[in-house]
Structure 1
Amino acid sequence: MSVLLSCEQGGQSIPPELSFREDLEIPAVCHDPASEVAGELSRLLRVPLIQNKHASSLIDVRLSSHHRDLFGKQTRKWKPDDRQRLLDTIYFPYREKVRSAISHQLSRQPYVVHLSVQTFGLRSKSGKIRRTDVGLSYDPSHDDEVDFCLDLIDEMYDAAPMLRVRRNYPRRGSSDSITKSMRSEFRNQPYIGIELMLNRAWSERKTALRAEAIRGITLAISQIVNITAVANAA
């Protein structure tokens, strides 16, 4: 069994192909700790990580190409030709990287676990406080994904007891996502696609508690997939 990490959030760059848009701005507040945590998990687990380096305020590579929220507030107002440039320079290349990595691992391993590392806010849109620290979003109709998440929760109970873990929260794994798309593309193949959702209340703070939590998540994953992880988190 092999592990592939991906991170669709946290990028800040703008492709050179979009330099013609002089009005394009990346919000200064769009920093997301998902890319940092994903990088640390990749280092500790010693597994590959595919990261989207471009700002999700341009285009959200997590979503399917027909989703109404695919484009950001600025870019959804662009002309069709300009939006197509976003698809051609960011969306399709990133999706192909993930797809190729999964296909490559499937050709060499009996099972591939794809963890899409993401974050969510402390408060919901309605203002309600989310008291969950880690959410595992998966397809409940996929038995292997159910079993994997149940095993991961058991392992995290021992390895990271400070974290409150909840299944299919704050969103269901059957919702539109990159793991849902890959699950469809690799149907009837030994592929498991899980969204590893982290509350920004703890994941954005570079504290000893965050390092301990990342170590715990690393240990829990390594126990299930039977790989040797690096001992220390930064």
Structure 2
Amino acid sequence: MSLDKRKVLFTCEHGGNEIPQEFNAAFDGAEGALTSHRGYDLGALDLFQKFANAPYADKAFYSTTSRLLVELNRSRHHPRLFSEFTQPLQEEEKRQIITQHYLPYRQKVEEQIHDWIQEGYQVLHISVHSFTPVLDGEKRKADIGLLYNPGREREQLFASKWRQEISRLDGDYKIRYNYPYKGTADGFVTLLRRKHTPEEYAGLELEVNQKFALGSPEDWLVLQNVLVSSCGKAL
């Protein structure tokens, strides 16, 4: 595809663990959860900002509101849209959260994609995430996950090219497809696929093991640079 007919979008749905002041009472005693992987994607915002500043990034959107307030990467009617801290709130309070924090973020992303498609561009959307090294006592066996829909050729091809470019720059990283989650699971990218044809829209989720953000700053910086550089080469 011609470079002048493609737009590249980066998003980060879980960049922070902020709670709006009016909902602080619902999170009394929740400091441990908010600072853990449940509250946000550790390191994801740092990595996202590297992508956002790359010369090939056409637009970037992020949120620093905690996923424990509302899960921006879940559909509106997903049973875990609200966490155990916000599920007990009154329906009016939940509507307020949806109106003020959920819809504005998702709508600006959707509107940007829609506008580009209307202008005749093909969109490549990369959603930046990180995952906890150990979940429920089980160690995750990957450094990098590339999540895509195997039924959409553009996504499959880009994931394959990106993996090759990462390995060319550093062959020590363990890269897995559709891990630690399936690329077709409920999520923002999955919704966007339903709204647009494979020719109009390709969406991938990048998942990076949080052990890098928790470990050596030098190793973490190296990985960030490898991912940003390899993505550019794969485009």
Normalising to structure 2: TM-score of the pair? 0.87
Structure 1 range deviating more: 101-110 or 70-79:
101-110
Is the CA contact 1:10–1:56 (under 8 Å) kept in the aligned structure 2? no
2:111 counterpart letter in structure 1: S
Post-superposition Cα deviations, 1:160-216, rounded to whole Å, max 9, x if no partner, equal 323211000001111001100111112354211101001001134461111111111
Is the CA contact 1:134–1:198 (under 8 Å) kept in the aligned structure 2? yes
Q: C-alpha distance in 1, partners of 2:230/2:24?
A: 46
How do residues 50-89 of structure 1 correspond to structure 2 at under 5 angstroms? 50-89=61-100
Q: 1:188 to 1:139 in 2, by over 3 A?
A: closer
Is the CA contact 2:152–2:198 (under 8 Å) kept in the aligned structure 1? no
Q: 1:188 to 1:117 in 2, by over 3 A?
A: closer
Three-state SS of the structure 2 residue aligned to 1:3 is strand
Is the CA contact 1:37–1:203 (under 8 Å) kept in the aligned structure 2? no
Percent identity of equivalent pairs: 23
Q: C-alpha distance in 2, partners of 1:109/1:203?
A: 38
List, as ranges, runs of 4+ consecutive aligned residues in structure 1 with deviation greater than 4 Å.
none
Structure 1 range deviating more: 102-111 or 157-166:
102-111
Q: C-alpha distance in 2, partners of 1:72/1:45?
A: 37
Q: C-alpha distance in 1, partners of 2:96/2:65?
A: 13
Number of aligned pairs?
221
2:193 paired residue among 183, 193, 208: 183
Is the CA contact 1:2–1:113 (under 8 Å) kept in the aligned structure 2? yes
Three-state SS of the structure 2 residue aligned to 1:213 is helix
1:6 paired residue among 8, 11, 32: 11
Is the CA contact 2:161–2:234 (under 8 Å) kept in the aligned structure 1? yes
Q: C-alpha distance in 2, partners of 1:46/1:142?
A: 22
Name the structure 2 match of 1:152: 162
Normalising to structure 1: TM-score of the pair? 0.87
RMSD over aligned CA atoms reads 1.9
1:90 paired residue among 101, 110, 118: 101
Q: C-alpha distance in 2, partners of 1:145/1:218?
A: 18
Name the structure 1 match of 2:140: 130
Q: C-alpha distance in 2, partners of 1:35/1:166?
A: 21
Name the structure 1 match of 2:26: 24
Q: 1:43 to 1:73 in 2, by over 3 A?
A: same
Structure 1 range deviating more: 114-123 or 32-41:
32-41
Is the CA contact 1:2–1:109 (under 8 Å) kept in the aligned structure 2? no
Q: C-alpha distance in 2, partners of 1:215/1:115?
A: 16
1:167 paired residue among 164, 172, 177: 177
Name the structure 2 match of 1:229: none
1:6 counterpart letter in structure 2: T
- Structure 1: gaps spanning 5 or more residues: 226-234
